[in-house]
Amino acid sequence: MSMYLNTIVVLFTGIGWIFFLGATVGILRFPDFYTRMHAAGKGDTLSTMMILFGFAAYQLHHPDLASLLVAFKIVFIAVLIFITGPTATHAIMDAGYGSKIDHWGTRDGSVSHCLIKEDERS
Amino acid sequence: MKIIALLVSVALGVILLVATNDLPEWGDPQSPASTHLSRYYIENSMEQTSVPNFVTAVLADYRGYDTMFETAVIFCAGITVLTILRRSHRRKKKDVQPRPCREGQDIILKSAARLIAPMMQLFALYVLAHGHHSPGGGFQGGVISGASFILLSIAYDLEMLLSRLKERTIMFFSGLGVLIYAGIGAICLLLGGNFLNYSSWSKILQVSEVEARSHGMLGIEIGVFITVTFIMISLYADLASGGEMDEGL
């Protein structure tokens, strides 16, 4: 029983770590503001939720009332992140769009050109 | 004038730095604080106040004066910001800085804020009420509760918040919190005890003196909670709108 539960915990947390890694690489490597925010928003929310679900599952090793309460609180945090994370990403994106930040690839249409420009700007 | 102020603060800083030489070492087990004071609190706070979290017991009971004036300091800070920044609409035309202003309200932000704000307020009350058993209390709960109102005013706008919650109401409640704190202490005097010695409340509450101290702490935490909440709202409203209370962020 405990073996299966541990497998679930490791699976959830492992998937969370992988998504976290993806989000980090995305923030560092994506070419412009919008794609970077996309990576940060999507990857961060999902990976945090996965890791939290893993932690909540770990609490079920001793299924008494106290650890169930802890598991419930962790799931509650996951719900909060599910609501707030994408909303915050949306708000930042909206602010960026409002202050007219350029898209990737909109100038002259060519991708490599924009990448060079991005490098020159920094 | 600025040079005089600089000289005074540098001199004071040097004095304070020199005085740190006389302080005991960091974490020194032989220092008076560690040998007498901490041990006293750790050993006696549970049976004297029946509060498991003795940080709360020290903060709200043994050092109640300190916390009362901390609350008063927060109140004064709110009043000061209000005095410096708040301008009436008559004088406003002259030197208005252009501020970034959002046109239109975002349905996603509004819905999320409507979902989150009640949860935050509920959690703030939980933090307030659970201060006797876990980290928390009036200051922390008050900040969370104030933040929920600030969230609403960011997602909608400042006018919406101020139409529901008049400035007069905000300032009334900020003062009320300090009054509750000091009033609980003053009633102790009337009941024949010392100021802020909650055990004399046992005559009114019909409980033992130890229980009365626990309840008294909850009472003053509620006072702190109210003051911190409304001073947070007042600070945000003043700072975000440059004292004009019109649009804000």
> What are B157-166's pLDDT values in tens digits?
788 888 888 8
Which residues in chain B are closer than 8 Å to A80, comparing Cβ atoms? 116, 119
In A, what residues contact B, Cβ < 8 A? 80, 83-84, 87, 90-91, 94, 98
DSSP assignment of A29-87 equals H-SSHHHHHHHHHHHHHHHHHHHHHHHHHHGGGS-SHHHHHHHHHHHHHHHHHHHHHHH
Read off the pLDDT of residues B195-232 as tens digits, 9 standing for 90 and up: 888 888 888 888 888 888 888 899 999 999 999 999 99
* pLDDT value of position B150: 92
Q: What is the pLDDT along chain A (122 residues), one digit of tens a residue?
A: 788 889 999 999 999 999 999 999 999 998 888 889 989 888 889 999 999 999 999 988 887 888 999 999 999 999 999 999 999 998 888 888 877 777 777 555 444 434 444 444 44
Domain membership of residue B45 (yes or no) is no
DSSP E strand stretches across chain B: none
Instruction: List the single residue in B102, B108, B119 with the smallest CB-CB distance to A87.
Output: B108
Enclosing domain of residue A93:
2-121
What ipTM describes this predicted complex?
0.71
The number of C-beta contacts closer than 8 angstroms across A and B is: 17
Instruction: List the single residue in A80, A91, A98 with the smallest CB-CB distance to B109.
Output: A91
Domain membership of residue B13 (yes or no) is no
Domain membership of residue B93 (yes or no) is no
Enclosing domain of residue B65:
54-86+107-249
d(CA B125, CA B130): 8
Please report how the helices B209-240 and B167-190 are oriented relative to each other, as an axis angle in degrees rounded to 10. 160
Instruction: List the single residue in A87, A94, A98 with the smallest CB-CB distance to B112.
Output: A87
pTM (2 decimals)?
Answer: 0.80
- Closest-CA distance, A120 to chain B, in angstroms, reads 29
Is B73 within 8 Å of chain A by CB? Answer: no
CB contact under 8 A, A84 and B116: yes
CB contact under 8 A, A83 and B115: yes
Cβ atoms of A84 and A60 within 8 Å: the answer is no
Instruction: List the single residue in A80, A90, A98 with the smallest CB-CB distance to B108.
Output: A90
* Number of domains observed in the structure of chain A: 1
Quick one: which of B202, B175, B200 has its CA closest to B188?
B200
Residues of chain B with pLDDT under 70: 88-105, 243-249
Distance of alpha carbon A61 from its chain centroid, rounded?
27
**SS3 sequence of A77-92:** HHHHHHHHHHHHHHHH
d(CA B135, CA A64): 24
Enter the tokens of residue B196. 């802020």
Domain membership of residue B182 (yes or no) is yes
Which residues in chain A are closer than 8 Å to B115, comparing Cβ atoms? 83
Domain membership of residue B192 (yes or no) is yes
d(CA B230, CA B169): 9
Domain membership of residue B20 (yes or no) is no
Domain membership of residue B213 (yes or no) is yes
> Which candidate in A83, A89, A97 is best for mutational testing of the B interface (most B CBs within 10 A)?
A83
Domain membership of residue B70 (yes or no) is yes
* pLDDT value of position A14: 95
DSSP B20: G
Residues with Cβ within 8 Å of B14's Cβ and at least 6 positions away in sequence, in order, are none
Enter the tokens of residue B34. 């560690």
* Number of domains observed in the structure of chain B: 1
